[in-house]
Chains A and B, each alone.
Chain A
Amino acid sequence: MFELLGVPPQVLLGQLLLGLINGSFYAVLSLGLAVIFGLLNIINFAHGALYMAGAFVAWMLLNYLGIGYWPALIVAPLIVGVFGVVIERTMLSRLYHLDHLYGLLLTFGLALIIQGLFRNYYGISGLPYQIPAVLSGGQNLGFMFLPNYRAWVVVASVLVCFATWFAIEKTRLGAYLRAATENPTLVGAFGVNVPLMVMLTYGFGVALAGFAGVLAAPIYSVNPTMGEQLIIVVFAVVVIGGMGSIMGAIVTGYMLGIVEGLTRVFYPEGSAVVIFVIMAIVLMIKPEGLFGRTA
């Protein structure tokens, strides 16, 4: 077997895969943030909490209603999305005329409430969620062992990211959306129901977070704190990528996941902070972000 810089390939590839999985979550979450930011101009601080809620909804569907993984993959994001729509209608929509920072503060408060509620009822020890039978086990690729479920996470996230990108950049609905991002008043004047679109966009953005949560449930234990660390890293990802482009958010997410995985191989102590260091470097060299359009 060949060795790279004294690192056995099993370790390297194993960490690369782990990085790719983390990257999948970064990509789906930062995509949701970017979609929401594009139209609503707010940063959804509750994104991490809603990701966690997605995992919990999947767990509840299984344990209270006997609904398995595959239906939950659709149903849980829908429930989270509907919850998002309620938030948008009852709260966020009152803040559009104000400074965008108020949206950040509001969603921060919501994140505290959601996390606190789940912590009260389910504790912080975490609940197990079984990998669906079809995806248990793994493939021996000769040089490493590839668990089926992890491969599925990567595939599913790529599919969802691609579908979202396609819907926004290539379809008629997406064109309305992009137009409303540029000038909501004018789009409204053409007879498009902009408030409805804003509502559904927020719902869709948080449904993406819920989807990521269901994907994560069998890998990490279902835990009320699973979203809070992640969301801050995703914020850094978003700053690095810039939220101007959908593709940018996706690519940056995967890329940084892989970089983080590589750091874990070559300099484990730095793996927790590498993304923040990259953010600092990007801020020095290209403050608007790698794919950003405006500062």
Chain B
Amino acid sequence: MAMTDKTKGEATGMPTLHKIIFGVLLVALIALPFFVYPVFAMKVMCFALFAAAFNLLLGFGGLLSFGHAAYFGGASYVAAHAAKVWGLTPELAVLCGAAAAGLLGFVIGSLAIRRQGIYFAMVTLAFAQMVYFTALQADFTGGEDGIQGVPRGDLFGLFSLSDNLALYFFVLAVTFGGILLLYRIVHSPFGQVLKAIRENEPRAISLGYNVNRYKLIVFTLSATMAGVAGATKSQVFQLASLTDVHWSMSGEVVLMTLLGGMGTIFGPLVGAGIIVTMQNYLATFGAWVTIIQGVIFVIGVLMFREGIVGVLARWFKRPL
């Protein structure tokens, strides 16, 4: 997708503005659980990481995956299974989930990158549906019930995470770390090549870059980080369910990224915050949530393609 790119000065490390924003964000997040329900805050953070991972692929790689629920939900199943059946500690369970998502992303990605544009989107969606059916039928996933009652375990086998506040800081460390890692990837030489491929693929090829290898790497990275988000979510809610692998979850992450601003650093975080908050407050209205999400999609595509952070970045003339 063509997007304006105003990032400057990547070579000289993180711009001061970004440092300030990340700093303020971290302070706010440390204070947050004392003001809002920690589980809700953890949900927002998991989805923020999920959207940021998705944005790596769409916003910076220019690849629209319509099946990211497969990695998010797949990892949540694996992590839940690892924690419940294998009795692994939370950090190892999350790593297992992330590894599984990365592997799945590598396999699906290597097939999907054989097609471009809307075909790519359809292929990823179809494979994600295959993962959904597998989750529905396989033995270890528990079918319609999902995996329930996942124990929260002890971090490194030492610190109990059964308390919401303790778990909150674990989730904060994982998701914030994940988002910083994604930031680093975007601003690395690898990220620059990625943007070059997004802007002009034939030219990148003619410059000697193995475009497909870059696409596969970014796809796998994005799937892995989506997996970290999904695995963490399963530890928070002590549950892995079909909702996480359903196609509507793939749609939601697209919506979060679109609303917040594709190809921006902070957009997916803003988008995730808004959508999760909205779902929380409108949960009693049933299908209206779906309708409102659809309306946001339509309005977003028709007149608000830069997203919230995209507009702010244009106003302040700074990459955000």
The distance in angstroms between the C-alpha atoms of A49 and B136, with both chains bound, is: 23
Q: Is A176 an interface residue (CB 8 A)?
A: no
Q: Is A293 an interface residue (CB 8 A)?
A: no
Chain B: which residue is nearest A87 at the CB level? B298
Q: How large is the interface on A (under 10, 10 to 19, 20 to 34, 35 or more residues)?
A: 35 or more
Contact with B along A257-295 (1 / 0, CB 8 A): 000000000000100110111011001100110000001
| Interchain CB contact under 8 A, A102 and B301 | yes
Nearest-Cβ distance from residue A244 to partner chain B, whole angstroms: 11
B residues 247-297 in Cβ contact with A at 8 Å = 247, 251, 254, 258, 286-291, 293-297
Chain B residue contacts of A287, Cβ below 8 A: 114-115
Q: Is B210 an interface residue (CB 8 A)?
A: no
Known A109-B297, A116-B288; contact A43-B130, beta-carbon cutoff 8 A: no
Chain A residue contacts of B64, Cβ below 8 A: 101, 104
A residues 222-276 in Cβ contact with B at 8 Å = 228-229, 232-233, 235-236, 238-239, 269, 272-273, 275-276
Of A92-100, A146-154, A157-165, the stretch lying at the interface with chain B is A92-100
Looking at A95, A111, A116, A238, which has the most chain B CB atoms within 10 Å of its CB? A116
Chain B residue contacts of A60, Cβ below 8 A: none
Cross-chain pair count, CB within 8 angstroms:
132
Contact with A along B203-243 (1 / 0, CB 8 A): 00000000000000000000000000000000000000000
B residues 111-159 in Cβ contact with A at 8 Å = 111-112, 114-119, 121-123, 125-127, 129-130, 133-134, 136-137
Chain B: which residue is nearest A41 at the CB level? B118
Chain A residue contacts of B36, Cβ below 8 A: none
| Interchain CB contact under 8 A, A283 and B111 | yes
Q: How large is the interface on B (under 10, 10 to 19, 20 to 34, 35 or more residues)?
A: 35 or more
| Interchain CB contact under 8 A, A101 and B121 | yes
Chain A residue contacts of B123, Cβ below 8 A: 239, 279, 283
Known A101-B121, A232-B247; contact A239-B126, beta-carbon cutoff 8 A: yes
Looking at A42, A111, A232, A238, which has the most chain B CB atoms within 10 Å of its CB? A232
Q: Is A120 an interface residue (CB 8 A)?
A: yes
| Interchain CB contact under 8 A, B126 and A109 | no
| Interchain CB contact under 8 A, A110 and B298 | yes
Chain A: which residue is nearest B137 at the CB level? A269
Nearest-Cβ distance from residue B30 to partner chain A, whole angstroms: 35
| Interchain CB contact under 8 A, A111 and B294 | yes
B residues 4-51 in Cβ contact with A at 8 Å = none
| Interchain CB contact under 8 A, A104 and B118 | yes
Known A101-B64, A106-B301; contact A238-B115, beta-carbon cutoff 8 A: no
Nearest-Cβ distance from residue B59 to partner chain A, whole angstroms: 12
The residue from B134, B286, B287 contacting A273, defined by CB atoms under 8 A apart: B134
Q: Is A115 an interface residue (CB 8 A)?
A: yes
Q: With A43-B118, A105-B297, A108-B251 given, name 12 new contacts (CB 8 A).
A: A43-B122, A91-B298, A101-B1, A104-B121, A106-B302, A113-B291, A116-B294, A120-B286, A273-B133, A283-B115, A284-B114, A288-B115
Q: Which residues of A contact B (CB under 8 A)?
A: 42-43, 91, 94-95, 98-106, 108-117, 119-120, 228-229, 232-233, 235-236, 238-239, 269, 272-273, 275-277, 279-280, 283-284, 287-288, 295
Closest 6 CB pairs of A and B: A109-B297, A112-B294, A113-B294, A116-B291, A116-B290, A276-B130
Please, could you name 27 A-B residue pairs with CB atoms under 8 Å apart, sorted by A? A91-B298, A91-B302, A95-B301, A99-B1, A101-B1, A101-B64, A101-B121, A102-B305, A104-B118, A106-B297, A106-B301, A109-B296, A109-B297, A109-B300, A109-B301, A115-B290, A116-B288, A116-B290, A116-B294, A119-B290, A229-B129, A233-B129, A272-B136, A276-B133, A279-B127, A280-B111, A284-B114
